[in-house]
């Protein structure tokens, strides 16, 4: 009798701990789902979708419905939601690195069907098929992430090009054109990683510290932390923009760095292509990039592998060396075909000791590229040896 009563009590406790929306959903979702569905015109259809979802996949579906933007909740195709959750959960069963993820990471950085505010495509099943063979022999999440990153250009056939139709392209839109800007490329990489169960998120800044424009990239979760990368793989935590990111202004909306979150964070991600939107949640990550840049600079200086190079832009050679002759201009720095940095030269009003400085590896050749006064691409090529170097460019 005692054993029977104990069993009944245990069953009762389990029942009390479940959700009104179906087995497999923790009861903590109930107020979230209640609030999400209260004003939704198709609440009954979403409730039915939850009931029809296999028990093992219901929490993932509940997570999306609870936190998805109201516009998606009211209009997004239900079969697209169903396919997205099914493929994400299949990836968790299939890949060992996904099975070991905390639920909080899996739900927020693997399961979501969208990256920012792009068109909602049915990308996940396609990308699972494209990239599963790429990671078939990988043993760790880091190995798998690198394999996807190295293979993505060939697998999706998209290259960087500012002639793309729009900034926030979906995977289908980018692949149809074969081109995308940094935003569309980052969306592609995030989705490719998520397709094989690797947590990934979109990161960017509305403008660099010197107002040279915005930039977007990707962060990948492995070994217990976030690591940055780009569509064109140059190694994790190694990118041409680190010097710029290291000078981002913490707490300053225009010049800070943000990562996207599907779940609300109390803040939003600033989208330069939709400046008034607050629909995409964000978290500021500026400090981490400032610290990474400082640590990398310290390492390079201690190793004596790099020297500081200063680039100053003048109107003409005749006014070189004068404060009034200087011109503020955007400059990109390349070593061969790889961009290794960029910056903005000093204006006439800045101190003569102020300006664009960059640490460059010794015994290599670099090209400084900029648009001159006639908007023509202009290059200055220099060889860097063991001593600090000053370089000049001319607008006319």
Q: What domains can you pick out in the chain, each with its CATH number? A: 77-294 (3.10.620.30), 304-394 (2.60.40.10)
d(C-alpha 173, C-alpha 191), whole Å: 14
Q: Which of 37, 83, 35, 77 shows the shortest CA–CA distance to 60?
A: 83
- What is the pLDDT at residue 9? 41
- What is the pLDDT at residue 10? 39
Assess contact for 207 and 128: CB atoms under 8 A.
Answer: no
User: What contacts 24+ positions apart, CB below 8 Å, involve 130-135?
Assistant: 130/155, 130/156, 130/192, 130/195, 131/155, 131/192, 131/195, 131/196, 132/94, 132/196, 134/196, 135/95, 135/196
Supply the pTM of this predicted model.
0.86
For 264-332, what is the HEC assignment?
CCCCECCCCCCCCCCCCEEEECHHHHHHHHHHHHHHHHHHCCEEEEEEEEECCHHHCCCCCCECCCEEE
- What is the pLDDT at residue 194? 98
DSSP state of 254: T
Tens digit of each residue's pLDDT, the chain (396 residues): 444 333 334 334 444 468 999 999 999 999 999 999 999 999 999 999 999 999 999 999 999 999 999 999 999 999 999 999 999 999 999 999 999 999 999 999 999 999 999 999 999 999 999 999 999 999 999 999 999 999 999 999 999 999 999 999 999 999 999 999 999 999 999 999 999 999 999 999 999 988 888 999 999 999 999 999 999 999 999 888 998 999 999 999 999 999 999 999 999 999 999 999 999 999 999 999 999 999 998 999 899 999 999 999 999 999 999 999 999 999 999 999 988 888 899 999 888 888 899 999 999 999 999 999 999 999 999 999 999 999 999 999
- What is the pLDDT at residue 203? 98
- What is the pLDDT at residue 14? 42
* Dihedral angle, C-alpha 375, 381, 162, 372, nearest 10 °: -10
């Amino acid at each position: 009798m005692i054993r029977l009563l104990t069993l009944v009590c245990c069953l009762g406790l389990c029942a009390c701990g479940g959700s009104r929306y179906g087995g497999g959903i923790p009861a903590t979702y109930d107020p979230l789902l209640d609030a999400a569905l209260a004003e939704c015109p198709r609440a009954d259809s979403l409730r039915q979708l939850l009931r029809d979802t296999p028990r093992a996949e219901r929490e993932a579906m509940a997570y999306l419905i609870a936190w998805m933007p109201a516009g998606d909740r009211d209009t997004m195709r239900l079969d697209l939601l169903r396919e997205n959750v099914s493929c994400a959960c299949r990836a968790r069963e299939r890949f060992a690195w996904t099975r070991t993820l905390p639920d909080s990471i899996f739900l927020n950085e693997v399961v979501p069907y969208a990256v920012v505010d792009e068109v909602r495509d049915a990308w996940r099943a396609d990308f699972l098929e494209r990239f599963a063979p790429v990671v078939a022999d990988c043993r760790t999440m880091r190995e798998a992430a690198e394999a996807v990153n190295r293979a993505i250009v060939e697998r999706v056939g998209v290259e960087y090009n500012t002639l793309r139709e729009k900034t926030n392209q979906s995977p289908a839109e980018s692949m149809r054109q074969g081109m995308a800007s940094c935003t569309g490329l980052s969306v592609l990489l995030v989705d490719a990683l998520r397709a094989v169960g690797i947590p990934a998120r979109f990161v960017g800044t509305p403008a660099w510290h010197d107002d040279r424009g915005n930039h977007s990239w990707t962060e990948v979760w492995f070994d217990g932390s976030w690591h940055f990368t780009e569509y064109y793989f140059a190694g994790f935590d190694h990118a041409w923009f680190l010097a710029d990111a290291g000078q981002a202004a913490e707490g300053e909306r225009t010049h800070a760095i943000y990562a996207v979150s599907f779940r609300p964070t109390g803040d939003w991600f600033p989208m330069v292509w939709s400046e008034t939107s607050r629909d995409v949640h964000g978290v500021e990550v500026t400090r981490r990039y400032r610290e990474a840049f400082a640590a990398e600079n310290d390492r390079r200086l201690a190793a004596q592998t790099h020297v500081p190079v200063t680039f100053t832009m003048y109107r003409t050679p005749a006014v070189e060396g004068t404060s009034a002759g200087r011109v503020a201009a955007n400059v990109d720095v390349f070593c061969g075909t790889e961009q290794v940095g960029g910056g903005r030269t000093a204006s006439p009003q800045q101190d003569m000791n102020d300006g664009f400085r960059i640490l460059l590896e010794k015994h290599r050749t670099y090209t400084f590229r900029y648009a001159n006064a006639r908007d023509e691409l202009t290059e200055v090529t220099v060889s860097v040896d063991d001593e600090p170097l000053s370089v000049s460019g001319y607008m006319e």
